[in-house]
DNA sequence: CTATTGACGGAGA
DNA sequence: TTCTCCGCCAATA
Protein backbone atom coordinates (compact mmCIF):
# COMPACT_ATOMS: atom_id res chain seq x y z
CA UNK A 1 0.00 0.00 0.00
CA UNK A 2 0.96 3.54 -0.31
CA UNK A 3 1.21 4.58 3.27
CA UNK A 4 2.70 7.91 4.11
CA UNK A 5 5.55 6.38 6.03
CA UNK A 6 6.74 4.87 2.77
CA UNK A 7 8.91 7.31 0.95
CA UNK A 8 8.00 7.94 -2.64
CA UNK A 9 11.20 6.43 -4.04
CA UNK A 10 10.64 3.25 -2.09
CA UNK A 11 7.15 2.80 -3.52
CA UNK A 12 8.45 3.42 -7.02
CA UNK A 13 11.24 0.87 -6.70
CA UNK A 14 8.81 -1.64 -5.21
CA UNK A 15 6.66 -1.43 -8.33
CA UNK A 16 9.50 -1.49 -10.83
CA UNK A 17 10.94 -4.60 -9.20
CA UNK A 18 7.70 -6.40 -10.14
CA UNK A 19 8.12 -5.89 -13.88
CA UNK A 20 9.15 -9.27 -15.32
CA UNK A 21 11.84 -9.68 -17.98
CA UNK A 22 10.55 -9.28 -21.50
CA UNK A 23 7.92 -6.81 -20.39
CA UNK A 24 7.75 -3.04 -19.99
CA UNK A 25 5.70 -0.49 -18.05
CA UNK A 26 5.27 3.21 -18.73
CA UNK A 27 6.29 5.84 -16.20
CA UNK A 28 2.62 6.68 -15.88
CA UNK A 29 1.65 3.11 -15.02
CA UNK A 30 4.39 2.88 -12.43
CA UNK A 31 3.16 6.09 -10.85
CA UNK A 32 -0.37 4.75 -10.84
CA UNK A 33 0.63 1.51 -9.13
CA UNK A 34 2.77 3.49 -6.70
CA UNK A 35 -0.30 5.43 -5.67
CA UNK A 36 0.20 8.65 -7.63
CA UNK A 37 -1.69 8.43 -10.94
CA UNK A 38 -0.44 11.76 -12.25
CA UNK A 39 3.14 11.54 -11.09
CA UNK A 40 4.75 10.00 -14.14
CA UNK A 41 7.27 12.77 -14.17
CA UNK A 42 8.15 12.27 -10.54
CA UNK A 43 8.69 8.59 -11.28
CA UNK A 44 11.37 9.56 -13.75
CA UNK A 45 12.99 11.75 -11.14
CA UNK A 46 13.30 8.73 -8.89
CA UNK A 47 14.54 6.33 -11.54
CA UNK A 48 17.11 8.90 -12.51
CA UNK A 49 19.27 7.79 -9.58
CA UNK A 50 18.64 4.12 -10.17
CA UNK A 51 21.86 2.48 -9.03
CA UNK A 52 20.28 -0.65 -7.55
CA UNK A 53 20.80 -3.64 -9.89
CA UNK A 54 17.69 -5.29 -8.46
CA UNK A 55 15.61 -2.54 -10.01
CA UNK A 56 15.13 -3.14 -13.75
CA UNK A 57 14.76 0.51 -14.62
CA UNK A 58 15.31 -0.23 -18.31
CA UNK A 59 11.85 -1.83 -18.35
CA UNK A 60 10.22 1.51 -17.69
CA UNK A 61 9.60 3.40 -20.90
CA UNK A 62 7.68 6.44 -22.04
CA UNK A 63 3.97 6.11 -22.79
CA UNK A 64 4.88 6.23 -26.46
CA UNK A 65 6.97 3.10 -26.06
CA UNK A 66 10.24 4.90 -26.51
CA UNK A 67 12.89 4.04 -23.90
CA UNK A 68 14.26 6.95 -21.90
CA UNK A 69 17.76 5.95 -22.97
CA UNK A 70 18.97 4.42 -26.24
CA UNK A 71 21.04 1.84 -24.37
CA UNK A 72 17.90 0.53 -22.72
CA UNK A 73 16.69 -0.48 -26.15
CA UNK A 74 19.57 -2.92 -26.36
CA UNK A 75 18.88 -4.43 -22.98
CA UNK A 76 15.18 -4.79 -23.77
CA UNK A 77 15.86 -6.48 -27.08
CA UNK A 78 18.06 -9.00 -25.30
CA UNK A 79 15.06 -9.85 -23.11
CA UNK A 80 12.94 -10.50 -26.15
CA UNK A 81 11.02 -7.25 -26.19
CA UNK A 82 9.84 -6.43 -29.69
CA UNK A 83 10.13 -3.00 -31.25
CA UNK A 84 8.35 -1.11 -33.96
CA UNK A 85 10.89 1.37 -35.17
CA UNK A 86 12.42 2.90 -32.09
CA UNK A 87 9.50 2.22 -29.83
CA UNK A 88 8.47 -0.88 -27.94
CA UNK A 89 5.50 -2.75 -29.39
CA UNK A 90 3.30 -1.91 -26.43
CA UNK A 91 0.36 -3.88 -27.78
CA UNK A 92 2.34 -7.02 -27.11
CA UNK A 93 4.95 -6.27 -24.48
CA UNK A 94 3.23 -3.91 -22.06
CA UNK A 95 3.21 -5.44 -18.59
CA UNK A 96 -0.18 -6.36 -17.15
CA UNK A 97 0.34 -6.23 -13.40
CA UNK A 98 -1.47 -8.65 -11.13
CA UNK A 99 -3.41 -6.40 -8.82
CA UNK A 100 -3.71 -7.32 -5.15
CA UNK A 101 -6.77 -9.40 -4.38
CA UNK A 102 -9.33 -7.48 -2.35
CA UNK A 103 -11.33 -10.59 -1.40
CA UNK A 104 -8.86 -13.38 -0.73
CA UNK A 105 -10.43 -16.74 -1.45
CA UNK A 106 -12.47 -15.57 -4.39
CA UNK A 107 -11.44 -15.69 -8.02
CA UNK A 108 -10.16 -18.64 -10.06
CA UNK A 109 -13.14 -20.98 -10.25
CA UNK A 110 -13.16 -24.78 -9.99
CA UNK A 111 -9.65 -25.91 -10.67
CA UNK A 112 -9.35 -23.80 -13.78
CA UNK A 113 -5.69 -23.61 -14.59
CA UNK A 114 -4.47 -20.28 -15.74
CA UNK A 115 -3.89 -20.27 -19.45
CA UNK A 116 -1.13 -18.22 -20.94
CA UNK A 117 -2.54 -15.32 -22.86
CA UNK A 118 -1.06 -14.52 -26.19
CA UNK A 119 -0.84 -10.80 -26.75
CA UNK A 120 -1.81 -9.03 -29.88
C1' DC B 1 8.25 30.29 1.68
C1' DT B 2 8.83 30.54 -3.99
C1' DA B 3 11.42 29.12 -8.28
C1' DT B 4 13.53 25.64 -11.09
C1' DT B 5 14.36 21.24 -12.85
C1' DG B 6 13.37 16.66 -14.96
C1' DA B 7 14.47 9.21 -17.51
C1' DC B 8 6.56 12.34 -18.20
C1' DG B 9 1.75 12.56 -20.60
C1' DG B 10 -1.51 14.14 -23.62
C1' DA B 11 -4.10 17.48 -26.40
C1' DG B 12 -3.56 20.30 -30.51
C1' DA B 13 -1.38 22.09 -34.45
C1' DT C 1 3.13 11.43 -37.93
C1' DT C 2 6.16 14.55 -35.50
C1' DC C 3 6.65 18.81 -32.67
C1' DT C 4 5.07 22.29 -29.12
C1' DC C 5 2.83 23.62 -25.10
C1' DC C 6 1.14 23.14 -20.74
C1' DG C 7 -0.25 20.55 -16.56
C1' DC C 8 1.27 17.45 -13.00
C1' DC C 9 4.50 15.73 -9.01
C1' DA C 10 8.64 15.42 -6.07
C1' DA C 11 13.20 17.01 -5.11
C1' DT C 12 16.45 21.03 -4.78
C1' DA C 13 18.21 25.53 -4.56
Task: Centre a 10 Å sphere on the Cβ of residue A60 and count the other Cβ atoms it contains.
Answer: 27
Per-residue confidence band for A117, with pLDDT thresholds at 50, 70 and 90: low
Overall average pLDDT of the A12-21 stretch? 97
The pLDDT score that the predictor gives to residue A1 is 55
- Is residue A85 over pLDDT 50? yes
A40: nearest nucleotide, CA–C1' criterion: B8
The answer to whether A41 and A62 have CB atoms below 8 angstroms apart is: no
CB-to-strand C contacts below 7 angstroms:
A 7-9, 36, 38-42, 45-46, 85
What is the separation of C-alpha A15 from the centre of its chain, rounded to a whole number of angstroms?
A: 7
The pLDDT score that the predictor gives to residue A112 is 44
- Is residue A4 over pLDDT 70? no
Å: A38 CA to C7 C1': 10
Give the residue with greater pLDDT, A61 vs A5: A61
Overall average pLDDT of the A55-63 stretch? 97
pTM of the model: 0.86
Bridge partners for A104 per DSSP = A106
The distance in angstroms from the start CA to the end CA of chain A is 31
- Of A78, A113, A76, A114, the closest CA to residue A94 belongs to A76
A35: nearest nucleotide, CA–C1' criterion: C9
Å: A93 CA to B7 C1': 19
Overall average pLDDT of the A82-108 stretch? 84
Amino acid sequence: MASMSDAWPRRVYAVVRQIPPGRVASYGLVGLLAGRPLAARAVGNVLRHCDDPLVPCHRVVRATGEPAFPNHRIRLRREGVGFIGRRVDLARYLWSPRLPRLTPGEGRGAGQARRAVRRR
